[in-house]
């Protein structure tokens, strides 16, 4: 039976809502024939899932007399595989479920609360979120008032692991352009009586005060329409401070102390990693300097138009001349005269000049002293042999130097990324260092479903490449059905990529190579693959195709905590 949605006295559209629906082709293609309308009540909406705070908050199991029960999913003791995680290989992006949790054994469970429909109720969720329910707030599918006990099922999604395991799309389309959500929290709320779905009565609203550690005001509120398969923009998300209604005061000493402790803790966590990166960079720089000192010197071919002479040079005094067998010294100085060849000199000394491979020849005859600049040269087969030997050594030198310089660049990128990640973490800690400094994000709910507090972003633009995914044995890994996920450490933003060609190459893969990325997904074989990539450690084939080598995870994923452990290990 199809459900029909009717909206009465709809509020005026915001500019963002108008922009979101300017794609008239998409609107027309989304029209479906209504076979049999069951009723025309405005409260009968498709189920939606509600989004929650992006930070784990304090657990408070208290709901003013309501009964709390936790509904925990039973985890299967199997590795992640097709049979126990995804809907099946026959699904395609076109006919796949709109909400598709990737790992059934790790689905985020609902908390269940019993409320009396005839009185005011307030539920306090374990995270600190408060759900306020007015009396006579529920009706059945025919619009009849509900009396007696109603079961509220509620869950929250806080971080990247929660968002991934929810299977809820985290993309937002506006004017034909797709954005990816950075979340400050997502919630899912439903109502039941005797296991039959109930609805919020016309004119009634449930208010949800979602506990959040992210105090930034850049987030909007969205509701998920599971019929049209899209997020609807609701407006700017409102924030309520715990001390709302009281006079404005400065943070207490305890809050500032907690803030300082949180910042110092973050510094302590990052300092060993930063110091290690610095030590490694210094080591690489020493290696680079040492290699540069060993740079071979190219032999010089004798110029027949110049003056030349031979000297008996001791190799231990001038090791750089060891390459020169049967060396001739060519005079660079124009003051040298051919008549000098006829003189028997009392003394001839060679000394190093500041210019590479140029020497000073000091000659003395009685009281006459002369100094000329000369350079070693070779001719004929001596030059050809020396040139061949030089080319071989220079190639070895260049390869060694380039390798160490590339390592220096990679390690510097990692260091910059660690410092930036620490800075962001400290800024977040300064914003919300203790429970008393957390905020509530407000939702007014006229329909049960899924709500989100998000900020839309474009895909990363720092690099656009064709990416090929392989496992540790070099076998192709395909993410065509479930999609590939990418997240940057320290940012609660989930990017998802799909490959409609159903092969291991993803065209126009957009990412930030300077970020500390985590790349993962459920492949077509049903297993979870993951890569925690450090900046500067990407490899390319033919300087074009990015090769991403992923590890197959045989560990059973039973909960969001298991996934977070993989992310953080």
Residue keyed to tokens 């199997």: 78
Whole-number Å distance between alpha carbons of 359 and 357: 7
Higher pLDDT, 63 or 531: 531
Ranges 302-316, 360-374, 547-561: which has the least confidence: 302-316
Contact 61, 68 (CB under 8 A): yes
Residue keyed to tokens 């297993």: 527
Burial class (CB in 10 A: 0-12, 13-18, 19+), 462: exposed
**Predicted pLDDT at 506:** 85
**Predicted pLDDT at 419:** 86
Ranges 162-171, 201-210, 495-504: which has the least confidence: 495-504
Task: Reduce the secondary structure of 440-469 to three states and give it as a string.
Answer: EEEEEECCCEEEEEEEEECCCCCEEEEEEE
Whole-number Å distance between alpha carbons of 170 and 493: 9
**Predicted pLDDT at 32:** 36
Q: Is the pLDDT reported for residue 152 higher than 50?
A: yes
* Residue 255 pLDDT class (50, 70, 90 cuts): low
Q: Which two tokens stand for residue 560?
A: 């969001």
Instruction: Compute φ and ψ for 416, nearest 5 degrees.
Output: -60, -40
Whole-number Å distance between alpha carbons of 555 and 73: 18
Burial class (CB in 10 A: 0-12, 13-18, 19+), 160: buried
Q: Is the pLDDT reported for residue 74 higher than 60?
A: no
Ranges 82-91, 104-113, 267-276, 292-301: which has the least confidence: 82-91
For the stretch 423-449, pLDDT in tens is 877 876 776 554 445 788 999 999 999
**Predicted pLDDT at 352:** 80
How many CB atoms sit inside 10 A of residue 310's CB? Answer: 9
As a 3-state breakdown, the chain gives helix, strand, coil percent values, each rounded to 5, of 25, 30, 45
What's the pTM? 0.57
**Predicted pLDDT at 110:** 95
Section 505-531 average pLDDT: 86
For the stretch 313-369, pLDDT in tens is 666 666 666 555 577 888 988 888 888 888 888 887 878 877 777 888 888 888 888
Residue keyed to tokens 């000659």: 363
For the stretch 445-478, pLDDT in tens is 999 999 999 999 999 888 888 888 889 898 988 8
* Residue 559 pLDDT class (50, 70, 90 cuts): confident
**Predicted pLDDT at 323:** 53
- Between strands 149-157 and 51-53, the pairing is unpaired
For the stretch 126-136, pLDDT in tens is 999 999 999 99
Whole-number Å distance between alpha carbons of 238 and 219: 9
Q: Is the pLDDT reported for residue 29 higher than 90?
A: no
DSSP state of 556: -
Higher pLDDT, 160 or 62: 160
* Residue 541 pLDDT class (50, 70, 90 cuts): low
- Nearest Cα neighbor of 441 from 186, 163, 192 is 186
**Predicted pLDDT at 500:** 62
Residue spans per domain, the chain: 15-72+109-242+438-449, 308-377, 459-568
459-568: what fold? Answer: Immunoglobulin-like (2.60.40)
């Amino acid at each position: 039976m199809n459900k029909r949605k009717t909206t009465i006295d709809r509020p005026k559209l915001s500019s963002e809502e108008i922009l979101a629906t300017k794609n008239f082709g998409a609107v027309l293609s989304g029209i479906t024939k209504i076979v049999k309308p069951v009723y025309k009540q405005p409260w009968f909406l498709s189920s939606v899932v509600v989004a929650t705070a992006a930070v784990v908050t304090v657990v408070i199991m208290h709901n003013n007399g309501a009964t709390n029960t936790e509904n925990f999913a039973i985890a299967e003791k199997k590795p992640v595989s097709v049979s126990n995680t995804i809907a099946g290989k026959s699904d395609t992006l076109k006919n796949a479920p709109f909400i598709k949790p990737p790992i059934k054994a790790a689905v985020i469970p609902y908390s269940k609360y019993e409320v009396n429909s005839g009185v005011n109720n307030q539920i306090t969720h374990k995270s600190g979120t408060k759900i306020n329910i007015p009396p006579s707030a529920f009706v059945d599918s025919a619009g009849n008032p509900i009396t007696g006990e109603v079961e509220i099922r509620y869950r929250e999604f806080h971080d990247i692991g929660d968002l991934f395991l929810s299977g809820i799309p985290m993309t937002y389309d506006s004017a034909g352009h797709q954005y990816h959500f950075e979340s400050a929290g997502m919630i899912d709320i439903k109502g039941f009586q005797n296991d039959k779905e109930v609805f919020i009565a016309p004119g009634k609203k449930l208010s949800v005060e979602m506990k959040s550690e992210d105090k930034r005001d850049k987030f909007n509120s969205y509701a998920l329409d599971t019929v049209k398969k899209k997020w609807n923009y609701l407006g700017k998300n409102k924030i309520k401070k715990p001390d709302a209604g009281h006079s404005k005061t400065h943070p207490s000493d305890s809050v500032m102390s907690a803030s300082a402790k949180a910042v110092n803790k973050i510094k302590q966590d990052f300092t060993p990693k930063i110091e290690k990166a610095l030590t490694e960079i210094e080591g690489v720089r020493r290696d680079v300097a040492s290699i540069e000192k060993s740079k071979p010197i190219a032999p010089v071919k004798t110029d027949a138009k110049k003056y030349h002479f031979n000297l008996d040079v001791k190799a231990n005094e001038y090791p750089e001349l060891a390459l020169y067998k049967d060396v001739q010294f060519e005079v660079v100085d124009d003051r040298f005269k051919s008549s000098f060849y006829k003189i028997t000199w009392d003394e001839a000394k060679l000394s190093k000049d500041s210019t590479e491979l140029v020497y000073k020849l000091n000659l003395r005859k009685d009281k006459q002293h002369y100094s000329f600049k000369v350079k070693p040269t070779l001719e004929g087969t001596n030059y050809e042999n020396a040139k061949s030997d030089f080319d071989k050594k220079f190639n070895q030198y260049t390869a060694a130097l380039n390798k160490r310089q590339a390592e220096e660049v990679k390690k510097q990128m990692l260091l910059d990324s660690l410092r930036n990640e620490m800075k962001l973490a400290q800024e977040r800690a300064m914003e919300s260092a203790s429970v008393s400094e957390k905020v509530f994000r407000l939702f007014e709910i006229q329909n049960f479903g899924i709500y989100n507090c998000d900020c839309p972003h474009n895909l990363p633009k720092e690099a656009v490449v064709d990416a090929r995914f392989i496992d540790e044995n070099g076998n192709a890994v395909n993410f065509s059905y479930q999609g590939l996920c990418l997240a940057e450490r320290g940012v609660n933003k989930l990017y998802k990529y799909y490959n409609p060609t159903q092969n291991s190459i993803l065209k126009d893969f957009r990412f930030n190579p300077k970020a500390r990325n985590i790349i993962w997904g459920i492949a077509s074989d049903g297993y979870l693959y993951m890569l925690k990539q450090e900046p500067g450690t990407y490899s390319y084939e033919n300087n074009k195709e990015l090769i991403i080598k992923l590890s197959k995870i045989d560990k059973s994923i039973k909960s969001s905590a298991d996934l977070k452990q993989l992310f953080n290990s």
